[in-house]
């Protein structure tokens, strides 16, 4: 399989972590977002939405949207599972996941920030917007796991919540959010960062990394 990827994309980072947790090797193709390669003709033929990641399966099917890809991986490679089987606990994990994947990440992605720039906002204002979105979303997440056992978000094994949390905390720091306000999230992140699957998926470990 081949993952169309970019070292800094939070959505691609989620898929890299999920692949590593399940021990699935893939080839990587870098789509340079800052140079606009996601809007190039070749990539748009693959993913008309012009977003990374996209996963091309061994059968040649193209999967897009990080969560759709991860759910497909769950179905095809069920072990280790990233979501609880019990419906109520699964709904709790998913509420956390969607607080990041819907309410936080898309409101501070490159396209939205570029739109703010095009509307005349300064870099400080753009960073302030992204920091606001991250602080709101992570603040909600902190409450959602406050009563959950650690060290991961939901217990002693990583779940889809941790898969989504770690990239988002990376974004939050990049936008200068004071993440010390989220001690329970930092506990989960520390557990994740000690795990080889998360370590190998980190942006600075990717072939296309630029400092």
Which stretches of the chain bind its own copies, using CB under 8 A? 48-49, 51, 57, 61, 63-69, 71-72, 75-76, 87-88, 90-92, 94-95, 97-99, 101-103, 105-107, 111-112, 115, 119, 121, 125, 129, 132, 136, 140, 143-144
Q: At 156, is the secondary structure helix, strand, or coil?
A: coil
Q: Are 33 and 18 in contact (CB under 8 A)?
A: no
Nearest distance from C-beta of residue 106 to its own copies, angstroms = 5
With CA atoms as reference, report the closest residue to 145 among 97, 113, 180, 206: 97
Phi, psi for 78 (deg, rounded to 5): -70, -20
Question: Closest CB to its own copies among 48 and 80?
Answer: 48
Nearest distance from C-beta of residue 77 to its own copies, angstroms = 10
Question: Closest CB to its own copies among 21 and 55?
Answer: 55
Nearest distance from C-beta of residue 64 to its own copies, angstroms = 5
Question: Closest CB to its own copies among 140 and 186?
Answer: 140
How far apart CA 31 and CA 88 sit, in angstroms, is 38
List, in sequence order, every residue forming a beta bridge with 27; answer none if it has no partner.
2
Q: Are 179 and 186 in contact (CB under 8 A)?
A: yes
Nearest distance from C-beta of residue 172 to its own copies, angstroms = 17
């Amino acid at each position: 399989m081949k993952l169309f990827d970019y070292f800094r994309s939070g959505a691609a980072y989620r898929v890299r972590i999920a692949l590593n947790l399940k021990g699935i090797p893939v080839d990587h193709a870098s789509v340079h977002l800052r140079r606009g390669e996601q809007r190039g003709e070749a990539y748009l033929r693959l993913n008309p939405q012009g977003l990374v990641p996209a996963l091309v399966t061994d059968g040649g099917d193209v999967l897009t949207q990080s969560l759709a890809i991860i759910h497909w991986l769950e179905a095809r490679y069920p072990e280790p599972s990233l979501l609880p089987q019990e419906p109520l606990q699964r709904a709790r994990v998913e509420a956390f996941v969607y607080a990041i994947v819907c309410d936080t990440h898309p409101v501070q992605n490159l396209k939205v920030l570029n739109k703010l720039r095009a509307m005349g906002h300064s870099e400080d204002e753009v960073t302030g917007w992204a920091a606001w979105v991250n602080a709101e979303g992570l603040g909600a997440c902190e409450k959602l796991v406050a009563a959950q056992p650690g060290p991961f978000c939901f217990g002693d094994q990583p779940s889809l919540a941790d898969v989504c949390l770690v990239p988002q905390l990376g974004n939050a720091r990049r936008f200068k959010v004071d993440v010390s306000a989220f001690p329970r999230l930092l506990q989960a992140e520390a557990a994740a960062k000690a795990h080889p699957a998360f370590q190998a998926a980190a942006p600075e470990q990717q072939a296309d990394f630029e400092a």
